[in-house]
């Protein structure tokens, strides 16, 4: 149990810039420069920094969406693209993104959206899966009647609640929330932050909360890492 839930060790990421003009050269630009951190079980860990500091890129590396150099261990197992199967990674990691409208299939009903992760991994019967959908809707503050609605029939806050529910359906070890309230108004954003707090208390979830809002970070998180120019410059308890 002393093994951290997530261990990021010397992770780097870079991209090759576009060639400018006939005689222009492609230049390698570093986005992450040997980033290291660890997240404990049951911890809400904040990742703060200005836009362009590398926060989202690090989250995408952990999720295995982009390649990187270095090592990422999830429950002691190597993770990331090309280093573990998609199934293994999906069972251990959940993701909540900034824009819930872009994250949810607009033509499908909420019941389909939330049941789909269980269907893909062949978990339970149809009846059991729908029961889990109802339970999750109650947990995220929406009653089961919402499963008949499509994303266009939901408010922005309700869409984000559904996104959070989808991320929790497989009971992952870690949720990565990348600017989950920046696209919401202040009142709705506060409700989503309180939902994360309630989920932490009731489920003991571990959360990597990425934000440029230091007030939210300080309110919600147990520890905070501050990023600047692709590096972690400070970790504060």
What does the domain layout of the chain look like in residue ranges?
6-15+27-236
- Kindly report, residue by residue over 166-213, the tens digit of the pLDDT: 999 999 999 999 999 998 999 999 999 999 999 988 888 899 999 999
DSSP state of 170: T
Radius of gyration of the chain (CA): 18
Q: In this predicted structure, what is the pLDDT of residue 83?
A: 47
Q: In this predicted structure, what is the pLDDT of residue 24?
A: 64
- Of 11-25, 48-62, 176-190, 201-215, the one with minimum mean pLDDT is 11-25
Residue 43: pLDDT over 70? yes
- State pTM to two decimals: 0.89
For residue 1, name the pLDDT band (cuts at 50, 70, 90).
low
Domain 6-15+27-236's class? Answer: alpha beta
């Amino acid at each position: 149990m002393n093994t951290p839930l997530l261990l990021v060790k010397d992770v780097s990421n870079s991209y090759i810039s576009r060639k400018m003009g006939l005689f222009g050269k492609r230049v390698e630009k570093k986005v992450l420069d040997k980033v290291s951190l660890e997240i404990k079980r049951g911890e809400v860990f904040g990742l703060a920094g200005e836009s362009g500091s590398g926060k989202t890129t690090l989250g995408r590396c952990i999720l295995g969406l982009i390649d990187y150099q270095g090592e990422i261990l999830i429950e002691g197992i190597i993770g990331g693209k090309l280093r573990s199967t998609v199934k293994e990674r999906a069972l251990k990691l959940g993701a909540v993104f900034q824009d819930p409208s872009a994250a949810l299939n607009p033509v499908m009903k909420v019941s389909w959206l939330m049941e789909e992760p269980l269907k893909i991994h062949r978990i339970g019967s149809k009846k059991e899966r729908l029961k889990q959908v109802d339970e999750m809707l109650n947990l995220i503050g929406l009653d089961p009647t919402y499963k008949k609605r499509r994303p266009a029939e939901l408010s922005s806050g309700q869409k984000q609640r559904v996104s959070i529910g989808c991320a929790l359906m497989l009971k992952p070890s870690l949720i990565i929330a990348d600017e989950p309230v920046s696209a919401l108004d202040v009142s709705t954003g506060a409700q989503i932050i309180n939902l994360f707090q309630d989920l932490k208390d009731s489920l003991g979830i571990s959360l990597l909360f990425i934000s440029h809002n230091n007030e939210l970070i300080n309110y919600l998180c147990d520890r905070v890492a501050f990023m600047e120019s692709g590096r972690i410059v400070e970790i504060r308890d």
